[in-house]
Amino acid sequence: MAGLMAGFGHYTHAVVRGIPASLAKEALRTSQAEVDLTGARTEHDAYVEVLRTKLGLEVVELPADESLPDCVFVEDAAVVCGETALITRPGAESRRRETEVMKEALKDLNLNIVEMTDENATLDGGDVLFTGREFFVGLSKRTNQRGAEILADAFKDYAVSTVPVLEGLHLKSFCSMGGPGLIIIGSSEPAQKALKIMQQMSDHRYDKLTVPDDIAANCIYMNLPDKGHVLLHCTAEEFPESVKVFEKLKDHMLIPVSNLEKVKVDGALTCCSVLINKKANI
Amino acid sequence: MTTEAGSETEVKEKAEETSAQPDQSETAEQEGQEVANVEGEEKEKGKEKEGKEGKGITRYLPTWFKKQKSQSQTSPTKEVPPAGEPVSKATEGEEEPAPEVNGHAEEVEEKEEVKSEEAKEATAAESDSTASAETEPAREEKVEDATAKSEETTKEAAEAEGAEEEQKEKERQGHVEAEADGGESQTSIFQSPLRLVRKNKMKVVVCRVTLLDGTDFTCEVEKRAKGQYLFFKVCEHLNLLEKDYFGLTYKDSHDEKCWLDPTKEIKRQIRSNNWHFAFSVKFYPPDPSQLTEDITRYLLCLQLREDVSSGRLPCSFVTHALLGSYTLQAEFGDYEPDQPRPLDFISQLTFAPNQNKEMEEKILELHKSHRGMTPAQADIQFLENAKKLSMYGVDLHHAKDSEGVDIMLGVCANGLLVYKDRLRINRFAWPKILKISYKRNNFYIKIRPGETEQFESTVGFKLQNHRSAKKLWKVCVENHSFFRLNAPEAPTKARFLTLGSKFRYSGRTQAQTRLASSLIDRPAPSFERTSSKRISRSLDGAPVISITEAGSETAENGRDPHLELHSDSKSLEDEIASVLLSRRTAAEFYSAAQPQRSVQEPTLDAAATTCSAAAAAAAPTAVCSSSVSAPSATEVCAPQTEAAPADYTSSDTKEPAKTPEVEIEETVVIQEVSRAVKLGLVPVTADSPATPPAEPEPKPQDQIEKVEEEAAAVEEVKPVKPERASSESESEEEAEYQPNVAASITQTKIPEEKEEEEEEQMTKEEEQQQVSPPVVPAPPVEASEPAEELSQEEEEEAKKEDTSVVEEKKDDQEEKESGRETEESTDDPMVTPEEAPEGLILPDETLGAKPTEEQERPKMNGEASLVEVDPRPQVICCSEPPVVKTEMVTISDTFAAQKTEIATKEVPIVHTETKTITYEAAQLDGNGDGEPGVLMTAQTITSESLCTTTTTHITKTLKGGLSETRIEKRIVITGDCDIDHDQALAQAIKEAKEQHPDMSVTRVVVHKETELAEEEED
């Protein structure tokens, strides 16, 4: 009988998906870096292992689909909050079919499925920041106003504010939640602007943790029964300065997770999983 | 006294009748009064020249005269048997009217208190009531003078209390207290006198109020009653003490839901014959767990259930189910496994707009898990979840942005939200908003510049029409005031000139209502938690809340008055308490107003300066300074501010943050004062130090001077009036509200909103700056801004004369404030806070304040001159500064709708001076006989006589010659020194009451600019 909006960060399940071989060559990307498929798969396995073994989540692994080179980034295919799952309509045409398997998986978890059928709507889960009290939806190349509206309709309990994403792929390309009321934000000008907007739009007060590297600001926060605050963040190998900032979080269990290869195709830590709390409400 | 006895008996009878049927009795009384008036008229015709009012008064004049004289001359407690006897002997008709008056007061009192009270007591009570009625006008005047109505009212109430204490008349005090205890009854009393005045028009209307449980509550209300009266009736019926979160709505001619303004006549608002209202939550408490009483939470639950089931408050499936399950638990207790076909039963209840079987099953499932939860606990859980909903407490208004795109503007506790298709696209927290205004169908908010921005920006929205723009503006003003201010802000004078609507939130702020709630110590009222019809149609429509405990009601009344007094003058109880005090204050105001007028011309320039704002602050400080030797103005200011906070702390109430506009007005006043004082008030503003000490002493002289000046001013004022009218008309079209100053001040105290840390810090800094400005002569940036705005507004809208008027108003406000401060400082914590803010705002005010007091006295004279215009009877004319007056007026209006008529004459800003409007109605009410003609008084009254009377104190009553003149006497009293006047007034009132219950204060001359504002607002 947890009340409304209680237990931010409580998760019991995680949905992940394998990496298709097509990722190396065909996955969408903003840079031209060469992706080491094996390295990426190793990384991803380690990532899943953290979720499953270290954190004890029940992990649902979806099979990779070679026709969907970006399918590993399951976050964009669905937004789950409480017992409701919004199946998105990804902004990239090539990714639309990623939602099919996701929908079935979430159905199997007995979530209330809401589908985004409006053909004028696009929404990538990477543009959706849920703070525990409200949603911020980045209006980006991948997400439009209509998509945000549908999200607002799906989660009526919460305020849904829109935030323009002028640079970067997604809203969460430079920010994420680091705890209840704590926003981790990159130090770039666009990131700071976005934070300002979010603060202005919110009735709630958020603390901020600014890290030097925008992409390092993408972390996974959980609040688990026997582990307390857990933060999955980048490794010191990738962003040493940002890791120093995370190490100031004394109350958090800090788990560095390598993301060297996936980041080359704009994949951040949050992108690779959909977290679910099957006991969220009631 | 014999007459009194006779009247008393009659009164008693009437009272009994009235007790049974208050409205009817009132009507009867009215009729009787009318009869009496007729007789009186015949007699009077020869005697009195005065208009209609005069007739009514003249009728009573003989009795009144005697009584009044005795009252005025003798101590308040003393009764004048001889006078009473002659009266009684006088024609029956005459007697009847007097008794009627008494009866009205008695009725109310009796209803509330005890019907069986002795005749004397009853008469005394009546007299008190009448006094209160009189005082009400005074209050109104005060209010008008004071920038902040609420502040004024609180101060007044405090003053009234203090005055009562000062009077030391235990018996009367007891009566007063009893009246206060009566609370609503008191209000009724007040109204009754007013009604009496209006008697001609007095008609009873049946109001139907749909309660939150879906049942209808019907009650009879005088046709001219103000919204507050009906609202109190409903709250009484509901046994609700924490009523400030609630309000009444009506459907306007366009079928749009509108909030009933408690300070205005119902009839003028609904503008139709559909006396159907709905009781609703007006301000959704952000944290319902802080509500004191379960019954309040229950009512909030009822509202939210309706909001949820209608879809107004959107929520998810799970939340619908959860809220529904708590509703079941609260209404039906533990889940009954044996209940046959629970789904059939539950499907008759409406929990959600799209309720389905699945949801009902979920609700039942959740209901099972609530086993053992009490209804109160279930309500709390319901609210704890409902309050987290993003649209909780958000009042949505359709609008278009600058590009014509359809959006929704949501007003809530935290600020203004902008939605586009359910998406929040922008948000303006109250601290970020510098000014809220509307013009025609445009709604504007001026935004505080961000960290990196240098200039403030204005955001405009297009509303459907002028009505909706004004409606949105009013909602914003009210929400900001309620959630962000420590005390309501008085309507600003400057705005009047520049902007049309004087509208300000007149109720208690959340801070105040919380304080008040903390004082509630009655046993938790038992109420029937019958499921509301809306939710469960199967259940009977029995009213959800039944007043089980009569005792509790009385307790409420008693408590409420105090609370109300603090928070708002509107509450009847407050009014009563304030009556005596108010008179004093009124006198002060008058005096101040007049001098101010004289000063006004010179002040125009000063008004323009922002520094004036500081000076305005000085006024309150001046009062403080008088007590405390003020080294320098700045120093003085600081002590005041400190003192004020201390008071606040004592009361727990936060300092009311006055709007910058008010400050400005105040400043203007200061300048004026300085001129009048000759002490070099101007230096006071700049050099406050020297002036403060000098002020107290010079007061008498100043007053005299002021009086002279006032006379001059009065003349000036007259021309101004027409201008005012014009300004008023304009006001309808547009209005401004500057929440920032107040907000900033409040913010410091009220840390509710915490947006961005930076922003908050910014705001805090700003606030601090604002606060600091008072201390430091140099106006802080914010302070300066408002002042500038005001000055601009004045320049633009107000002509030279207008500006002068504005200044006058400001002066009045200052006067009021000063009076409040003096009185309030001791008595009401709430009041002090109000004062304090002013003081804080304007360091120089301290200096100015004293002068203002002085001025007030002179103003009395000046007012009197103004009064000339008005008929004598209403002697109490308040020539208050335009802005302040309006506030005052509103308060009075709330008390007595009748008064409003008089008030109509009031022009928003400057004209307030001329506002000397006599409240014939009040007198009429008091007399009950006073014919409608009384209203005419405003012009005819000889200003000289009035002035002299005012200066002379009570003596003016003699001027009237007619029994009506009593009121004038009071005015006179007010005109005199504040303290003396107060005492004299109190005594006179008491005497009058005692001597002749019939004599109850019938006429109060009040400059009601508010009416115009009200009309506009309407």
Q: Which residues does residue A252 pair with via DSSP β-bridges, in sequence order?
A: A229
Contact assignment for B426 to A133 by CB distance below 8 Å: no
Q: How far is CA B190 from CA B53, B67, B227, B558, B855, in A?
A: 19, 21, 14, 16, 29
Q: Which residue has the higher pLDDT, B165 or A5?
A: A5
ipTM of the complex: 0.92
Average pLDDT of the residues in A157-180: 93
B11 pLDDT exceeds 90? no
Residues in chain A: 282
Specify the residue for token string 């506002």: B915
In the sheet with B442-447, reading across from the earlier edge strand, the strands are A128-130, A134-139, A159-164, B423-429, B415-420, B406-411, B395-400, B457-462, B442-447, B433-439, B734-737
Which range is most confident: A24-28, A49-53, B916-920?
A49-53
B436 pLDDT exceeds 50? yes
Cβ neighbours around B555 below 10 Å, total: 19
Average pLDDT over chain A, rounded to an integer: 92
Q: What is the pLDDT of residue B342?
A: 65
Q: What is the pLDDT of residue B490?
A: 65
pLDDT-derived band at B674, boundaries 50, 70, 90: very low
Q: What is the pLDDT of residue A48?
A: 96
Catalytic member of A71, A219, A234, A271: A271
B711 pLDDT exceeds 50? no
Q: Is A52 annotated as a binding residue?
A: no
Average pLDDT of the residues in A235-250: 93
B609 pLDDT exceeds 80? no
- Nearest neighbour of A162 by CB, restricted to B388, B423, B755: B423
Closest CA to B168 of B76, B79, B73: B76
Contact assignment for B423 to A84 by CB distance below 8 Å: no
Q: What is the pLDDT of residues B458-468, one digit of tens each?
A: 999 999 999 99
- Token pair of B356 as six digits: 């389905």
Q: What is the pLDDT of residue B48?
A: 41
Q: What is the pLDDT of residues B118-128, one digit of tens each?
A: 444 434 434 43
pLDDT-derived band at B531, boundaries 50, 70, 90: low
Contact assignment for B366 to A5 by CB distance below 8 Å: no
B324 pLDDT exceeds 80? yes
Average pLDDT of the residues in B70-92: 39
B155 pLDDT exceeds 90? no
Q: What is the pLDDT of residue B99?
A: 39
- Nearest neighbour of B755 by CB, restricted to A5, A159, A205: A205
Mark out chain B residues that contact chain A at CB-CB < 8 A.
314-319, 321-322, 362, 365-366, 369, 381, 384-385, 388-391, 412, 414, 420-427, 429, 432, 754-760
Dist. CA B931–CA B920, nearest whole Å: 9
Q: What is the pLDDT of residue B333?
A: 85
Q: Choose from A86, A134, A157 for mutation: most chain B CBs within 10 A.
A: A157
Dist. CA A74–CA B178, nearest whole Å: 72
Beta strand residue intervals within A112-258, DSSP E: 112-115, 128-130, 134-139, 159-164, 175-179, 182-186, 207-211, 220-224, 228-233, 252-256
Among the listed ranges A82-91, B358-367, B731-740, which one has the minimum average pLDDT value? B731-740
A219 is catalytic: no
A273 pLDDT exceeds 90? yes
Which residues fall within 8 angstroms of residue A200, CB to CB, at 6 or more apart?
B426, B427, B429, B432, B755, B756, B759
Which residues fall within 8 angstroms of residue B403, CB to CB, at 6 or more apart?
none
Q: Is A89 annotated as a binding residue?
A: no
Q: Which residue has the higher pLDDT, B559 or B967?
A: B967
Among the listed ranges B65-79, B331-345, B364-378, B479-493, which one has the minimum average pLDDT value? B65-79
Q: What is the pLDDT of residue B832?
A: 32
Contact between B1007 and B915 under an 8 Å Cβ cutoff? The reply is yes
Q: Which residue has the higher pLDDT, B174 or B337?
A: B337
B685 pLDDT exceeds 90? no
Q: Is A93 annotated as a binding residue?
A: no
Q: What is the pLDDT of residues B867-895, one digit of tens each?
A: 333 333 333 333 333 332 222 322 222 23
Contact assignment for B388 to A5 by CB distance below 8 Å: yes
Q: Which residue has the higher pLDDT, B383 or B807?
A: B383
B14 pLDDT exceeds 80? no
Contact assignment for A202 to B315 by CB distance below 8 Å: no
Q: What is the pLDDT of residue B515?
A: 80
Average pLDDT of the residues in B313-334: 91
- Nearest neighbour of A282 by CB, restricted to B322, B384, B756: B322
Q: Tell how strand B204-210 and strand B276-281 pair up.
A: parallel
Q: What is the pLDDT of residue B733?
A: 63
CB < 8 Å to A157, chain B: 314-316, 319, 388-390
B578 pLDDT exceeds 60? no
Q: What is the pLDDT of residues B180-197, one digit of tens each?
A: 343 333 333 343 444 444
Among the listed ranges A107-111, A168-172, B149-153, B477-481, which one has the minimum average pLDDT value? B149-153
Q: Is A17 annotated as a binding residue?
A: no
Chain B CA closest to residue A111? B318
Q: Which residue has the higher pLDDT, B422 or B79?
A: B422
Which range is most confident: B62-71, B388-397, B603-612?
B388-397
The share of chain B scoring above pLDDT 70, in percent, equals 31
Q: Which residue has the higher pLDDT, B934 or B365?
A: B365
Q: Is A142 annotated as a binding residue?
A: yes
Among the listed ranges A31-35, B104-108, B161-165, B539-543, which one has the minimum average pLDDT value? B539-543
Q: What is the pLDDT of residues B476-524, one digit of tens each?
A: 999 999 998 887 766 555 444 444 566 777 778 888 877 877 777 778 7
Chain A CA closest to residue B389? A157
Average pLDDT of the residues in A216-228: 93
pLDDT-derived band at A127, boundaries 50, 70, 90: very high
Dist. CA A179–CA A8, nearest whole Å: 8
Compute the nearest-CA separation of A237 from chain B (Å).
Answer: 33
Contact assignment for A84 to B316 by CB distance below 8 Å: yes
Contact assignment for B759 to A5 by CB distance below 8 Å: no
A271 is catalytic: yes
Mark out chain A residues that contact chain B at CB-CB < 8 A.
1, 3-5, 82-84, 112, 133-134, 137, 145, 148-149, 152-153, 155-162, 196, 199-205, 207, 281-282
Q: What is the pLDDT of residue B863?
A: 36
Q: What is the pLDDT of residue B988?
A: 56
Q: What is the pLDDT of residue B427?
A: 93
Which residues fall within 8 angstroms of residue B374, CB to CB, at 6 or more apart?
none
Q: What is the pLDDT of residue B274?
A: 84
Average pLDDT over chain B, rounded to an integer: 54
Q: What is the pLDDT of residue B525?
A: 78
Q: What is the pLDDT of residue B320?
A: 93
A161 pLDDT exceeds 90? yes
Q: What is the pLDDT of residue B987?
A: 58
DSSP state of B872: G
Report the Cα–Cα distance between both ends of chain A, in Å, rounded: 4
Closest CA to B832 of B640, B547, B982, B972: B640
Average pLDDT of the residues in A244-258: 93
B759 pLDDT exceeds 70? no
- Token pair of B941 as six digits: 């009254």
Q: One-letter amino acid identity for A144? A: N
In the sheet with B216-222, reading across from the earlier edge strand, the strands are B216-222, B204-210, B276-281, B246-251, B257-259
pLDDT-derived band at B297, boundaries 50, 70, 90: very high
Contact assignment for A207 to B314 by CB distance below 8 Å: no
The share of chain B scoring above pLDDT 90, in percent, equals 18
B854 pLDDT exceeds 90? no
Q: What is the pLDDT of residues A31-73, one digit of tens each?
A: 777 889 999 999 999 999 999 999 999 999 999 999 999 999 9
- Nearest neighbour of A112 by CB, restricted to B317, B388, B412: B317
Per CATH, is A13-276 categorized as 3.75.10.10? yes
B451 pLDDT exceeds 70? yes
Q: What is the pLDDT of residues B621-655, one digit of tens each?
A: 333 333 333 333 323 233 333 333 333 333 333 33
Q: Which residue has the higher pLDDT, B302 or B524?
A: B302
Q: Is A226 annotated as a binding residue?
A: no
B855 pLDDT exceeds 70? no
Q: Choose from B318, B423, B428 for mutation: most chain A CBs within 10 A.
A: B423
Q: What is the pLDDT of residues B50-79, one digit of tens each?
A: 434 434 433 443 343 434 433 333 333 333
